[in-house]
Amino acid sequence: MRIVLAALTELRFKGNSEYLEGIVPLIDTPLLDYFKISFFNQLIFDTPLLCHFIGRTEIIKAHYQANVNLYDGHAEVIFSPQGMAVNEGLILRILCTPSDWQVSSLVQICSSSLPPLYTSEHLKILSYRSHWQDDIESPQWLELLDPFMSVKDLALSDDLVPLFALAIQELVVENVTEVLPMLQNLHFYRPELSGPAKTAIRQFIDARQRSGRTVAVLNRIHNEYRQRLARVDARNYLDSIKVHFHGRSPDVCIVV
């Protein structure tokens, strides 16, 4: 029999996964809308009861965006409602430092702790690490993407693009749609690709097109800048520009 915490809307946990596995079967939280979990570094994460608990809540049943963030001291996956701050919803964090452990741990966490992710259409994978190790195997990156079956938009930070390109090179033509089968747009923050990364991405795009599932490559910085300009309110236009007169020709700088 579970204890119903009817008024609980926020829950935070920090510790070993085994301890949390002993807690979540005992409680129901019908109004929970923010759940932050920080796991200590472990070799194995096996959390089926946490998966059942998350499935009983409304945390990731709406249309959520997913962010995977990689830092020097921890890695995390965040699910937040569309249009809201990324620190709302569900946060799964692993407190470890080596980059290969971070990716391996995230793979285990996503596969054992999360119910099927059928509603997350937007995924960002961003790195804030000062450096990367070279011992992360390509299949680990593909396994990290496996739970995100419904993702249509994938954005990658600059230093992750070569690693992603190397990983998708491992896909044979017949399996090119097994990873991110619904993908429509790849967003990169760098102006343009070059070298082996460009070749691998092009081969992936061509293979997807031959399979009938076209993927477009977009420059995210350019798109976000255009969106920000479009949001300038005409009523506050004079407050949003600075005009500097040099002789007879004004220079206009839009500040968004």
Q: Where are the domains of the chain?
A: 3-254
> What is the SS3 assignment for 9?
coil
For residues 107 and 143, is the Cβ–Cβ distance under 8 A? yes
Q: Tokens for 13?
A: 């946990």
> What is the SS3 assignment for 51?
helix
Look at residue 84 in the predicted model and tell me its pLDDT. Answer: 58
| Mode of pairing for the β-strands spanning 153-156 and 185-188 | parallel
Q: Tokens for 36?
A: 């932050």
Q: Tokens for 233?
A: 């309110």
Beta bridge partners of 156: 125, 188
Residue pLDDT, tens place only, 157-213: 988 888 888 888 877 666 778 888 899 999 988 767 778 888 888 888 988 888 888
Tell me which residue has tokens 């290969």: 100
Look at residue 53 in the predicted model and tell me its pLDDT. Answer: 93
pTM of the model: 0.80
Dist. CA 223–CA 173, nearest whole Å: 30
Helix (H) / strand (E) containing 168: helix 161-168
Look at residue 233 in the predicted model and tell me its pLDDT. Answer: 45
Residues of the chain with pLDDT under 50: 222, 224-256
Look at residue 80 in the predicted model and tell me its pLDDT. Answer: 84
